[in-house]
Every structure is written in structure tokens, then in C-alpha cells.
Amino acid sequence: DEERKAANEPVKLVPPKEVPASAPFFVEYVKRDLIERLGADKVYSGGLRVYTTLDPKLQATAEKAAKQLRGKDPEVAIVSIRHGDGSVVAMVGGRDFSANQFNLAAQGRRQPGSAFKPFVLVAALEKGMRPQRVYSARPYAVPVKDGVWNVQNYENAKTAPAMTLQAATNWSVNAVYARLIMEVGAEQVATVAKRMGIMTPVNPDPAIALGGLRTGVSPLEMASAYGTLASGGLHVAPSGIARVTDDDGRVLYRPDRAAERVLGKGVAVQTSLMLHDVVEQGTGQAARVGAWAAGKTGTTQSYRDAWFVGWSGDLATAVWVGYPQAQIDMTNVHGIKVTGGSYPAKIWAQYMRSAIDQRSRAVTPAAKAEATDQVLVRVCQESMLLANQRCPSTVDIYLAPGLVPKGVFTLH
């Protein structure tokens, strides 16, 4: 009876489970690059073998880190680059490719906030300004074409009436950086950003000191530009393609991996050391990975974009958190306001802890410093002059000989 009953039952077909494509955002990024270089006909007609730079283990690590935020939480974009040769090894353009195919990592153009300050810092150091130079940190009125731009410090920034450039970098003090860009010039900052790897045109306005861009930038650009600092001032254009061949193995395309010197070694190393301090004792402390690391947080007005961009070992990585619509504030995500030092830094740290090669964990900038005649000095954190034995708070930093403070602080 049971057999007859079963035989009369209609057959139910169970569709096979859809197998998700591996690294779909990265695949689309490579496809767009191929079409631009070889043409759509060549790409879609078949016969091409495309070898990519993707590292499956690092990609899986990045995707796992992005899952710190889920469901209706803000989106996450991650790009990780081997800064020595520009190879894109991991890319997360969003948490769910099936829901939204727009690649926030490569195509998204978002406001970088204070993650843009390192370009101002580089321009200042190139002009001879010193990390221990003291600036007023009080609110600042900047004259602009349309009137006055009133610069306020971030609501939780640790400020004093006057701060050194190093301290202002550690705590991302807007008023100091507004004063700084007025000294170095917005056009020079825009030029520095382009040299380092920002391909989106940058408007040469004072607001770029705080990341106020007309168009915005992508995480891919930011990772590439910070990679220039990590490489001691050498820039290699990022690419996800290792080579493209035909069926017979003839190479049709191979990206140029030649490094171009775009910054002086001394400036790159000094900037790196200052951004290392951001991670050690500034707004980027959540990005500590148990290895030497440097980077910068970024948070935009109304908490609509949050970034952490930095590097450790041979990887430069950018993390962006926000809503694709850009009009949604992140003032209450699991009970907190999302800043660059919160979820972005934590996601960055989770990825980098797993990703960086164990052999690179012990690498510090000391070797780079020696190669560029940097010297190690102990300075008073209050004055940024050479410390004496009574200074309650000191920091050891590498400086070019010409930047070493002349005097010893004697008020302690």
C-alpha cells in the first residue's frame, strides 16, 4: 500500500542550490578593467585566459571581517593591496552582491573625512614643517569665495588651546589642519594626492583639508595612495590582473608593475611614523594588530561615511562603512555613533591580524629610518621639545636630522 501511495505522489523537483560566485565584486572589477583595455568584443568572444592577483585566503578573511555588520546595518567596503607591486589581493564591494552589484570598493566615490589629512601632512612636511610645531587648536574662520568657512573640531576630539602637529594628527584636530592647509596651499595638497594615487579629480579648496571633496574617492584609491607611504614614497598603480593570455599562451596584456618615486623617502617615512602614532595613541587605537601598523581614521559630517585606511607588513588596506544612499546618518548603529575609530578600525584590525604574513610582523620602520638618515629621539609630549628625565609623558620618534628639536624642555 505504501509503495502504491508513493507511486501516485507527484514528483517534486528540488532546484539545485545556487552556488555563489567567488569574489563577485572583484570579478566585476577585473572584467571592467579588461573591457576598458581590450574592448568588449575581445573579452566576450572567448579564448582569453585571465590570471588575477586575488588571494583566496585573504579574500575569505576580508569577507569574514565585513560581517561584523549585518542585515540593515551600514554597508562595508574593503580593498587590500600589496603595496610593493600594486596587486589587489582582496576586495569586498558590499556584503551581498545578489542584492546590489554596485562595487562600493572600486566604483563608490565617498567623502573621506579626516582620512584625507595625510595628504595635507605630506604637503606640509615637503615644505619643511615639523611634527613638533605648535598650532592654535581653537575654532578657525577660513575666508573662502562664498564668505567664511567656520571650522569646528570633532565633538570628541582631545584638544588643547595649542597643539603640536603630531598631537593634532593623533586626535584629528580639524582647526589645526584648516590652518595648515592655508599655509601649504590647497592646490599643493591636491597635487600631492594625485601623485600618491588619487585618480579622481580633487578640487583645490581649503575644505579638502578635512576631506570635503566635490566628487569623493573610492576605497581602492585610498588604499593605493596610502600604499605609497608604506612603500617609502614609491607608487605602483593598483591592478587585479596578473596577466592575460590567449589559448596558445601568448601574453596579450600584463600591467606595468614598475614603481615610480613620487615622494622623497624622508617625507614618506616621517609621515608613516606620525600615522603610526595615530594607531598607538590616537583615534586609531582600535586598529592595533600586535604588529607595527600605521593609518588614519576618517568620519564625515553627520556620520554618513566612516573610514580607516592604513598598512602593516606588505598590505595597505582601506575600510569604508556607510549607507550606499549617503543621506542616512550612522548616529545609532548598535547604540553608537559610527566613527572611523569604531567599526572601520575594528574591521580593519580583524582582517589585518589574519592577513599579514608572520615574517612581516616584526618589521618596524627602523630599517627605513636608517636608510634615510632618520634618528631616534625622545621628546616631551607636552612641548615636543627634547625630553628631560622629569618629563612625565614622553614619546620616541624618528626624525630627519633637520627636524630634531634644538632645545630641551626645562619646565618639568
Q: What single string gives the DSSP state of each residue in 47-70? A: -EEEEE---HHHHHHHHHHHTTS-
pLDDT band at residue 22 using 50, 70 and 90 as cut-offs: confident
Q: Provide the b/e sequence for 346-365 (b: ≥16 CB within 10 Å).
A: bbbbbbbbebbeeeeeebeb
Asked whether residue 376 carries a pLDDT value surpassing 80, the answer given is no
Spatial distance between the Cα atoms of 364 and 386, rounded to a whole number of angstroms = 23
Least confident of 28-42, 213-227, 395-409: 395-409
Q: Provide the b/e sequence for 304-325 (b: ≥16 CB within 10 Å).
A: bbbbbbbbbbbbbbbbbbbeee
Q: So what's the pLDDT on residue 384? A: 60
Structure-block grid coordinates of residue 150: 567656520
Please check whether residue 298 is in contact with residue 284, taking contact to mean a CB–CB distance below 8 angstroms.
no
Q: So what's the pLDDT on residue 11? A: 39
pLDDT band at residue 6 using 50, 70 and 90 as cut-offs: very low
pLDDT tens digits, 193-216: 999 999 999 999 999 999 999 999
Alpha-helical regions (H) of 211-337: 219-230, 265-281
Q: So what's the pLDDT on residue 98? A: 81
Spatial distance between the Cα atoms of 104 and 95, rounded to a whole number of angstroms = 10
Q: How many CA atoms lie less than 13 Å away from 184 in the CB half-sphere?
A: 30
Q: What is the mean pLDDT of the chain?
A: 87
Q: So what's the pLDDT on residue 143? A: 81
- What number is the average pLDDT over the span 326-348? 94
Q: So what's the pLDDT on residue 359? A: 46
- Smallest CA-to-CA distance from 85 within 235, 193, 197 is with 235
Using the 8-state DSSP alphabet, how is residue 75 labeled?
E
Least confident of 87-96, 361-370, 372-381: 361-370
- Domains of the chain by residue range: 60-239+257-372, 373-412
Least confident of 119-123, 267-271, 316-320: 267-271
Asked whether residue 89 carries a pLDDT value surpassing 90, the answer given is yes
Please work out, in degrees rounded to the nearest 5, the angle formed at the alpha carbon of residue 110 by the alpha carbons of 108 and 114. Answer: 140
Please check whether residue 234 is in contact with residue 259, taking contact to mean a CB–CB distance below 8 angstroms.
yes
Topology of the domain comprising 60-239+257-372: Beta-lactamase (3.40.710)
- Smallest CA-to-CA distance from 183 within 142, 228, 148 is with 142
Sign, CA torsion 104/107/113/118: positive
pLDDT band at residue 282 using 50, 70 and 90 as cut-offs: very high
